[in-house]
Every structure is written in C-alpha cells, then in structure tokens.
Amino acid sequence: MAPTSAAAHAASDASATSSAQPAPSALDAAEPAPVDVCAEAERAPKLPRPTDPRDLLFHVSRARAIPAEFPVSATSIWSPCSQVGAPPRRSDDLVCVPASYSHLNREALRAAAFESDAPANFSRTHDALPVGRDGKIGFKAMLDDAAAAGHTLRLRSGFRAYTMQSATFSGWVAAELAQGRTREYALRKVDASSARAGHSEHQLGTTADLVFARPNGAFYTGWTQETYAESPAMAWVAANAHRFGLVMSYDKDHEGASEYVWEPWHYRFVGAEAADLMKRCGWSTEQYLELRYGEDTTPRAEHASRSLVPSVTPTYTEKSR
C-alpha cells in the first residue's frame, strides 16, 4: 500500500479535531448586547419624591416649591457672607465661599455642594473622563480643575433665602413696570427668566451662577447667553461639569421642559453619578427628576404662562433665577 501523503494526514487530523470540538454556533459567538443605561433608567421603578430639601435630588421647579423656612427663617433678610465678619460655617450647613472662589466675596453654598468626596466606586464618567479632582467633587474641585486648564472662574449668586428671592423677583417686575409695561406683561416676562420665592434652586444652597475672566483678566458679568456659550471657560465647564456632580439646570434644548429660558451660567450640584447619567442621556434636570419620581399628586403652584417669553435675549444682572 502506498504511504499516506502529508496532506491526507493533515485532513485526517483536522477531521478528528472538528469532530472532537464542534464549531461554535452563531449565538455562542455573538457578543452580549451593550447595556442601554438610559433605557434602564427609564424603566426603573419610580422612587418616592423627597420631602427634605437637603436631599441633593429634591425636585424644585416652577410648580414645586421648597419650604419657605428652609434653611433659614422665611423672614430672614440675611445676606450671606458679607465682606467682613462672616463666619466660615453656619449651623444650617451653609459655608461661606472663600474669596478665591467667590466673585464678590459674599457667596454661600451648602457644604456638600462646595466640596464632597468623590464616589469610591465611580472613577470614570461615561465618556471616560476622570471623576473629580484629587478625590473631590463639587464647585471647588471644578474651579480648581478649570484653573489648571487655564480658565479663571468664580461663583456668583449662590444661596438665596426665601425673602431674598422674593426681593429678586419683585425687582425684575419693578424694572419692567418702570419701562411702561403692564403688570400682566411684566409678570409673564419675568416668570420666564426668574423663579418666584420658594421655587428657586438657589434656595437649596446647592446652586450657583458662574462668571469667567476675559483674556485681559477682567470678569465678564453681563449675563448674555451668547457670550457665555462662546467663552472658552464656559465651554470647558459645559464639557466637564458632570465630572464634578454639576449640571446646567436650564439648557438651550429643554426650555419647554424647564419652562425657563436658557441660562448657561446656572449650575446645580446633584452628585457625580446623577450628573453623569443626565449628561450621557441628554436629560435636563427637570426631565431627569420627572423620570426618577414619576407622577406627583402634590398640589402644584400655578404661575403665569410662558406665552410672553421675550423674543430679545435679556441682559441679566446679579438678580437671576
């Protein structure tokens, strides 16, 4: 008999291997589908709506109010952290922001919003950015990281008590009336850009407006949306805020959901994981909280509609939402 060829031996070996190890099926070879975290969050059971405003995800909006007494008396006219003689911390957990972070050296925030420990098991955001700076999140860590990137930012219009917000809203209305507007028009116009007392995120103590330094070192405080959107400093904030647990509450694409005009300077601390989810899924604060808590049977406040939202972008001063 003629000797078996090398090719025949190879075919025989391959046949034996094939019979011993069946080829994987198409199902076995397929990789598991990636988890859609946004869809999962949408399907998740609804959580109880917090009743304590100290909860970082307390739902305050045009229709949902903060108790007037939180965190100081509703009749308080306290102006936080005046230039001299201000204590570094108050018993109500408001911290006076150091001058190197506060534009006018008189802002206050809740301690958690100013500086918190980064989550132990959450080191990278959905877009692979590092969470926090030196193990910290909050406004301080963000401003420190912005400075390292070459951007000078300061906090302005941090905490406002109930009475302070009432004066803010009334001041805007008075300015409109002084221009000869009717009271109905003034209320509707101001409602589009300023919260009424008890409905401002600033009262939570976890929210602040940002100002940035121009190339010449002078701070821009004009509050016009386009200038903020075009600023390299604020573009950096928009891209990085979620790393520090901060979100832009009133963005350009969700005015219908928030029922307020776009404010690219207004940021709220909600914690790193919530901020990252909102950034990943493209949700506004209002959308996320509605999704998280579902329908609410609590009576909602009635305010003027947005039918008279100004067609010309207003120029904002320190009196904002």
CA atoms within 13 A of residue 49's CA, in its CB half-sphere: 15
Residue 148 CA from chain centroid, whole number: 22
Beta-strand relationship, 136-137 and 116-117: antiparallel
* For range 195-223, the mean pLDDT: 92
Residue 88: pLDDT above 70? no
Q: What percent of the chain has pLDDT over 70?
A: 77
- Cis bond leading into 71, ω under 30°? yes
* For range 112-136, the mean pLDDT: 96
Output the pLDDT for position 229: 85
Domain total of the chain? 1
- Of 64-68, 87-91, 208-212, the range with the lowest mean pLDDT is 87-91
Tell me if residue 229 falls in helix, strand or coil.
helix
CA distance 286 to 257: 6
Look at residue 301 and tell me if it is in a domain.
no
Look at residue 47 and tell me if it is in a domain.
no
- What is the span of the domain harbouring residue 141? 52-113+123-293
Residue 312: pLDDT above 50? no
Provide the pLDDT confidence category of residue 21 given band limits of 50, 70 and 90. Answer: low
Tell me if residue 2 falls in helix, strand or coil.
coil
> Can you give the CATH number for the domain in which 200 is found?
3.30.1380.10
Look at residue 228 and tell me if it is in a domain.
yes
Q: Phi/psi zone of residue 265: left (φ > 0), alpha (ψ -120 to 50 degrees), beta?
A: alpha
Residue 80: pLDDT above 90? no
* For range 45-74, the mean pLDDT: 93
Look at residue 45 and tell me if it is in a domain.
no
Look at residue 167 and tell me if it is in a domain.
yes
Look at residue 31 and tell me if it is in a domain.
no
Residue 112: pLDDT above 60? yes
- Other Cβ atoms within 10 Å of 268 Cβ, number: 23
CA distance 38 to 134: 29
CA atoms within 13 A of residue 133's CA, in its CB half-sphere: 18
Look at residue 216 and tell me if it is in a domain.
yes
Provide the pLDDT confidence category of residue 8 given band limits of 50, 70 and 90. Answer: very low
